[in-house]
Amino acid sequence: MVSEVSAPPKSASLVGALVGNNQIVLVAALVVICVGISLAVPQFYSSANIIAILRQVAMVLIVACGMTMLLITAEVDLSVGASLAFVGVVAMDVINVTDSVFLGALAGIAFGALVGLVNGLIVTRLKVNSLIATIGTMMILQGGVFLYSREAIQNHHHLPSFVDIGAGYVGPVPIPVIVAAVIFIASYVVLRHTTLGRYLFAVGANEKTARLSGLRTTWLKLFAFVLTGALVGVAGLILGSLMNAGQPTAGRGFELTVIAAVILGGTSLSGGRGTLIGTLLGVFVLKVIDDGIIVLQWNQDLQMIVPGVVLIAAIYLDILRRRADAR
Amino acid sequence: MPAEAATAAVAETAAPLPLEMTGIGKHFPGVIALDNVDLSLEAGKVHALMGENGAGKSTLIKILAGVYGKDTGTIRIAGRETSIASPGDALRQGIKVVFQEIALISEFTVAENIFLEQYPTGRSGSINWKKIRQDARALFERIGFDVDTNARTGALPISQQQMVEIARALAHEARIVVMDEPTSSLTPAEVALLFTVIRRLTALGIAVIYVSHKLDEVFEIADTVTVLRDGRHISTRPIGEHTHDTLIQDMIGRQIDDLFPRSRGQASGKVALSVKGVATEKLRDVTFDVYAGEVLGFFGLMGAGRTELAKAIVGFDPIDKGTIEIGGRPLHPHDTRTAVSLGIGLLTEDRKGEGLMLDLPVVYNLSLAALGSFARGGFIDETAEREAAQGYVDRFRIRTPSLFQEIKNLSGGNQQKVLLARWLLRGLSVIVVDEPTRGIDVGAKQEIFALIDQLAADGHAIVMMTSEMPELLGLSDRVMVMGEGRITGSFSRDEATQEKILNAAIV
């Protein structure tokens, strides 16, 4: 009976078999892109370029881990790019005043977490839709950072340990990559194996259900906002360190890259659905394309255009897959 | 069969019947909503269409209204075979359906609504407002009902909005008027008035389809009754050939006693839930106790406050006044987290909206409330979780291909069993069930009834909110009746009759 029903629409089941798993598609896409670029430009797989890619991936992945959890709870944060720039400025300023990289880093992360908390409170207490709320905070932060400082704040004391956060290595591995790996693994474990992770899915899948089951839904959403904010703090420190300055104009469009990567990885904007492995692959696909356009010496404007096309294509594939699933 | 003979006899004598539907079939994905259903109307007669939820009444009506297309079968209007493409098309062919959810534009006046599709215009093409008002008043005179035709429609009570819909039927010269559960939110006086108007319609030679599951009303107003069950035509008989029992039997397909197994004896006498003087925006001074091992049924008409009460006592909605104690301990602070930890939870009437996590697997849905008990240091012991879930899947005979099937792919009955299992796994002592069999087919209903009975026998206290009289009488040890947010009656199992309960429900 079941086979009779599913047999006729052959094309649909073929598509279903081909794109049976969103992550397989991403892996395949990644392989194709890497091989293609490598054939055209062999220096693509030089260790210098690979490390450059990894460092780029690390920055995005750190924030994307938080964003994945936030999207799973059916909320979103568009202010992460604006916050990223502000974090760098605040951290640099505190370092210049206190002469302590540790206090500067703490201030940067705390600032990011505070932005997350404010976002979370606006969404959970004032019941403002998170898309709108964080567009609001994005604008406030973009203006605010210029009120705080018109110009880039330089590393006045020339503290080398600040530069190490972004540019340093442990053995052959850049420090940001290690930081990103630790955050990724911790996030993966939390989301996959703990009650906290399961509750985040529950809140996103159906908030009323979660509340009727005795879950602290407000608290869970706040957690995801604050975590995302704190991770923006970490990424902001790395960016500031790479530039060795607090740059108010940094981070433009960063939020779009992060959200695009998370969505590309199969996390649903409507909540309750998503994986960190998918997010990892999504970040890699976007960043490899980014790098490829540079090493291929293509027009730089394509760095925005190509990911846009890829994102739409990936989501459309996912729709085809679900349709095939539903049969 | 007498039914066929009766229809045949009529067909020979008079002009073509206003409506003949034969062999109507309709499939939705995974569900056969209608299977070879026949329905014929006589001019000037009221034809009741009865059946439980999911029997196919609404689907049949929606096909007639042009909301759904039919898969198979033929429709004849006044002897001519036809198809009904859209609601507007239905109206043009003389069919007016008055749905439960009134489809009027609430910002328009009564008169404007009546002539919505065909405003009379003057020579210049401008609308002749004076004529609209006059014509509207004339229509209301014909049905013997007085309403301010300049009133904003949304400001009128539902009963008057129904009259506006009926006037619209006359304005379109409809020959067939369908009333879909018209009395579900009316007071008895309004029901009496509605019946007067329906009799006026039949006197004008209009055929009326009266959709309802209320027996008393059908006996009062109908000439003929067609019963549907599980999408199939069960019987069509003159009302005179039916008794309450034969109608119920046709509707549920078996004796009422078979549907409600009873394994339990007396309740223990220990108070499991004590509600005192609870008041909210919608509730006034609600006080009652529930004992371990009993089912306390709450009945009420639409808007009586049953769901509001259910949500208040499980901490989901705030209360203004009163106290709630579960097993002697007060529900304080008043939230669901405290409620669940004290051992009370809600099996919601709105499974999709408030019960299920549709995209998540069966096991996650089942374990949600009890997840903490499978965790050490925040880490979930997934093996233990799966074993516990599998235990309930086996025990409740939940039909799912696997624990990891997304729950949206299960039938309503199986979804309901998962939600019930969610609470049992958590170990609640008081379970509040709101319309436990809404949207569930008859076979699964019986299983849910048996489960509720079993839970009470195991010593749980069950508070059951229902609008289904057979369910209420079949399952409850005691019955509380609500009206306008208050408790208006309280009956023991032996005292409770449909009549007494309805009288108490009508405030």
Weakest mean pLDDT among A202-211, B95-104, B283-292: B95-104
Beta-carbon contacts of residue A236 (< 8 Å; ≥ 6 apart): A83, A84, A85, A86, A87, A88, A91, A108, A112, A251
pLDDT score for A317: 75
Residue B402 to chain A, least CA–CA distance (Å): 16
- Per-residue confidence band for B482, with pLDDT thresholds at 50, 70 and 90: very high
Interface touch A212/B337, C-beta < 8 Å: no
Taking only Cα atoms into account, the Rg of chain B, rounded to an integer number of angstroms, comes to 25
Structure tokens at A307: 């990911």
Residue B107 to chain A, least CA–CA distance (Å): 28
Of A193, A201, A213, which is closest to B360 when you measure between CB atoms? Answer: A201
What's the average model confidence in pLDDT over A171-187?
95
Residue ranges of domains in chain B: 43-55+85-255, 256-343+428-507, 356-427
Q: Which amino acid is at B140?
A: F
Strands (E), B239-320: 271-279, 286-291, 295-300
| Chain B touched by A186 (CB under 8 Å) | no
- Examine the pLDDT at B11 and tell me if it is beyond 50: no
What burial class does residue B199 get, using C-beta atoms within 10 Å of its C-beta: 0-12 exposed, 13-18 middle, 19+ buried?
Answer: middle
In angstroms, the CA B427 to CA B424 distance is 5
In angstroms, the CA B87 to CA B65 distance is 5
Instruction: Domain A45-317: give its CATH architecture.
Output: Orthogonal Bundle (1.10)
Interface touch B364/A202, C-beta < 8 Å: yes
User: HSE (CB half, 13 Å, CA atoms) of B492?
Assistant: 4
What burial class does residue B337 get, using C-beta atoms within 10 Å of its C-beta: 0-12 exposed, 13-18 middle, 19+ buried?
Answer: middle
- Per-residue confidence band for A102, with pLDDT thresholds at 50, 70 and 90: very high
pLDDT score for A19: 45
| Chain A touched by B457 (CB under 8 Å) | no
Interface touch B371/A199, C-beta < 8 Å: yes
Spatial contact of A189 and A198, defined as CB atoms under 8 Å apart: no
Which percentage of chain A shows pLDDT scores above 70?
91
Of B341, B354, B378, which is closest to A209 when you measure between CB atoms? Answer: B354
| Chain B residue numbers touching A9 (CB-CB < 8 A) | none
Q: At what angle do helices B412-426 and B442-457 cross, to 10 degrees?
A: 10
Interface touch A214/B314, C-beta < 8 Å: no
Helix/strand/coil for B379: strand
- Nearest CA-CA partner of A269 in A225, A223, A315: A315
Helix/strand/coil for B87: helix
- Per-residue confidence band for B259, with pLDDT thresholds at 50, 70 and 90: low
In angstroms, the CA B317 to CA B308 distance is 8
What's the average model confidence in pLDDT over A165-190?
94
Residue B268 to chain A, least CA–CA distance (Å): 27
Spatial contact of B370 and B422, defined as CB atoms under 8 Å apart: yes
Where does B43-55+85-255 sit in CATH, by number? 3.40.50.300
- Write the pLDDT tens digit of every residue in A295-304: 998 888 888 8
Q: Which amino acid is at B294?
A: E
For strand B72-77 and strand B80-82, is the pairing parallel, antiparallel, or unpaired? antiparallel
Angle among Cα A272, A274, A277 to the nearest 5 degrees reads 160
Strands (E), B354-485: 375-376, 379-380, 430-434, 461-466, 478-483
- Write the pLDDT tens digit of every residue in B160-219: 888 888 888 888 889 999 998 888 777 778 888 899 999 999 999 999 999 987 778 899
Spatial contact of B475 and B297, defined as CB atoms under 8 Å apart: yes
Residue B316 to chain A, least CA–CA distance (Å): 7
pLDDT score for B345: 96
Residue A154 to residues A5, A55, B392, Cα–Cα distance (Å): 67, 22, 63
- Cis before B333? omega within 30: yes
Find the closest chain A residue to B313 by CA distance: A212
- Write the pLDDT tens digit of every residue in B112-133: 888 887 776 767 777 778 888 8
Best mutation target, B27, B347, B368, to test chain A (most A CBs within 10 A):
B368
- Nearest CA-CA partner of A184 in A76, A262, A292: A262
Residue B373 Cα to chain centre, angstroms? 37
Beta-carbon contacts of residue B362 (< 8 Å; ≥ 6 apart): B389, B393, B398, B400, B402, B403, B404, B405, B406, B407, B410, B418
In angstroms, the CA A306 to CA A315 distance is 14
Weakest mean pLDDT among A92-101, B95-104, B201-210: B95-104
In angstroms, the CA A320 to CA A318 distance is 5
| Chain A touched by B356 (CB under 8 Å) | yes
| Chain B residue numbers touching A194 (CB-CB < 8 A) | 375, 378-380
Interface touch A214/B336, C-beta < 8 Å: yes
Residue B398 to chain A, least CA–CA distance (Å): 19
Spatial contact of B94 and B174, defined as CB atoms under 8 Å apart: yes
ipTM above 0.90, yes or no: no
Residue B496 to chain A, least CA–CA distance (Å): 32
| Chain A touched by B372 (CB under 8 Å) | yes
Where does B256-343+428-507 sit in CATH, by number? 3.40.50.300
| Chain B touched by A210 (CB under 8 Å) | yes
- Write the pLDDT tens digit of every residue in A266-290: 898 889 999 999 999 999 999 999 9
- Tell which phi-psi region holds residue B434, choosing left (phi > 0), alpha (psi between -120 and 50) or beta: beta
pLDDT score for B14: 57
Mean pLDDT of chain B: 87
Best mutation target, B359, B367, B432, to test chain A (most A CBs within 10 A):
B359
In angstroms, the CA B257 to CA B247 distance is 15
Q: Which of residues 311-340 of B touch A (CB under 8 A)?
A: 314, 316, 336-337, 339-340
Mean pLDDT of chain A: 89
Beta-carbon contacts of residue B77 (< 8 Å; ≥ 6 apart): B18, B19, B93, B94, B95, B175, B176
Interface touch B369/A193, C-beta < 8 Å: no
| Chain B touched by A193 (CB under 8 Å) | yes
Weakest mean pLDDT among A21-25, A144-148, A215-219: A21-25
Find the closest chain A residue to B346 by CA distance: A212
Choice between B470 and A142, residue whose per-residue pLDDT is larger = A142
- Write the pLDDT tens digit of every residue in B336-392: 999 999 999 999 999 999 999 999 999 999 999 999 999 999 999 999 999 999 999
Choice between B62 and B444, residue whose per-residue pLDDT is larger = B62
Beta-carbon contacts of residue B248 (< 8 Å; ≥ 6 apart): B215, B256, B470
Interface touch A209/B380, C-beta < 8 Å: no
In angstroms, the CA B122 to CA B454 distance is 70
For B150, other C-beta atoms within 10 Å of its C-beta total 11
- Examine the pLDDT at B500 and tell me if it is beyond 90: no
| CA-CA-CA-CA torsion sign (A305, A306, A309, A311) | negative
- Examine the pLDDT at B232 and tell me if it is beyond 60: yes
Weakest mean pLDDT among A89-103, A138-152, B300-314, B432-446: B432-446
Weakest mean pLDDT among A66-75, A245-254, B16-25: A245-254
- Per-residue confidence band for B254, with pLDDT thresholds at 50, 70 and 90: low
Interface touch B359/A272, C-beta < 8 Å: yes
Q: Which of residues 375-404 of B touch A (CB under 8 A)?
A: 375, 378-380, 382
Spatial contact of A182 and A190, defined as CB atoms under 8 Å apart: no
- Examine the pLDDT at A137 and tell me if it is beyond 80: yes
What's the average model confidence in pLDDT over A250-254?
87
Containing H/E element for B46? strand B46-50
Q: What is the DSSP string of A310-325?
A: HHHHHHHHHHHHHHHH
pLDDT score for A15: 47
In angstroms, the CA B71 to CA B335 distance is 49
pLDDT score for B507: 64
Residue B433 to residues A2, B4, B34, Cα–Cα distance (Å): 34, 42, 29
Rounded to whole angstroms, the maximal C-alpha distance in chain B is 82
Weakest mean pLDDT among A305-309, B257-261, B410-414: B257-261
Find the closest chain B residue to A268 by CA distance: B359
| Chain B touched by A208 (CB under 8 Å) | yes
- Examine the pLDDT at B471 and tell me if it is beyond 60: yes
Find the closest chain A residue to B377 by CA distance: A194
pLDDT score for A17: 46
